[in-house]
Amino acid sequence: MWYAVSFVLAAVVMLLAWKILQLKRSAREIADTFSERVQDQSGTAIGVSGRDRDMCRLADGLNRELLELQKIRLQCERSETELNRAVANLSHDLRTPLTAISGYLTLLQETDDPEERAQYIRVLSERTEVMKELAEELLQYSKLVAPEAAGEAVPTAVDTVLTESIAGAYPLLSERGITPEVNLPAERVMRTVNKAELSRMFGNLLTNAVRYSDGDLMITLTADGDVTFENSASGLDPVMAGQLFDRFFTVENGGRGTGLGLSIVRMLAERMGGKADLRLEGGRLAVTVHLPADEKNC
């Protein structure tokens, strides 16, 4: 009897010892492979030779976290590349007016001719305004991406804000010889949004239209809350159009700007629960923002 009990105990001890060895081997495999996978970007999954359920579950969990880590790493690399490109572009955009300002200040100091002085002062004012617009757009973007940036949403007449924005942009439109064709629904379009952000979004859409338009602009608001800014844009091709929503993307013939205008439009539209997209067909660019109806009104 005692012999049988001893044999069973010995078998149990050996089984436990074998189990412990298997767990230790699996743990070493996971530890060694994990450190390698964190360093490389191969995406190879961590595997274990044992069949222990808990160890397999641990490996699966680590593999999921490694995938998320790889996604974050790729996002950081893209953001760094985008930031480096943005810094280069902004440096160029700021250096150009600064160089002009420096040169015209020198000319202004060297001349006593009233007409020349007036011309130089006019150019200096224009270049200063360019720098002011660049700084304002960057400040606007930095405020919008702040966590506390979202303003109070209140019931707002979208059609009223749109017409006010168009009226406010009249000098800009007139300068380019653009007389917009505006189509509004018969009924009022109400949405619960932040009025200031809605106005800013329409302002950016108008600026974008002026920047790329060949001289025309059609603005349409539907009862469903779709706002479309459409204009001919011979200076754009499908590749360029596909990047207009990217932060800091600018088109050389698109005039001055940081390339944040449409990126801000998309950000604001999504903050309002909507979306923004664009299409380029037959040389015509159409940017559409959809503002969904309030849930309580659906």
Residue 129, pLDDT > 80, answer no
Of 255 and 203, more confident: 203
Range of lowest pLDDT (77-81, 137-141, 158-162, 271-275): 137-141
CB 151 within 8 A of CB 194: yes
- Percent of the residues in the chain that have a pLDDT greater than 90, as a whole number: 16
Computed over every residue of the chain, the mean pLDDT equals 78
Gap between the Cα atoms of 58 and 71, Å rounded: 20
Please name which of 182, 187, 185 lies closest in space to residue 205, comparing C-alpha atoms: 182
Say if pTM beats, i.e. exceeds, 0.85. Answer: no
The total number of residues written for the chain in this structure:
298
Query: Hey, where are the domains in the chain?
Result: 74-144, 155-297
Q: Do domains 74-144 and 155-297 have the same CATH topology?
A: no
Helix residue spans in 40-113 (DSSP H): 53-110
Buried b (16+ CB within 10 A) or exposed e, 69-84: ebeeeeeeeeeeeeee
Q: Mapping DSSP to helix (H, G, I), strand (E, B) and coil, where does residue 156 land?
A: strand
Pick the CATH number of 74-144 from 1.10.287.130, 1.20.1740.10, 3.40.630.10, 1.10.1740.10: 1.10.287.130
Range of lowest pLDDT (21-30, 127-136, 178-187): 21-30
Pick the CATH number of 155-297 from 3.30.565.10, 2.40.10.220, 3.30.420.40, 3.30.1300.10: 3.30.565.10
298 confidence band (pLDDT: 50, 70, 90): very low
166 confidence band (pLDDT: 50, 70, 90): very high
pLDDT at 61: 77
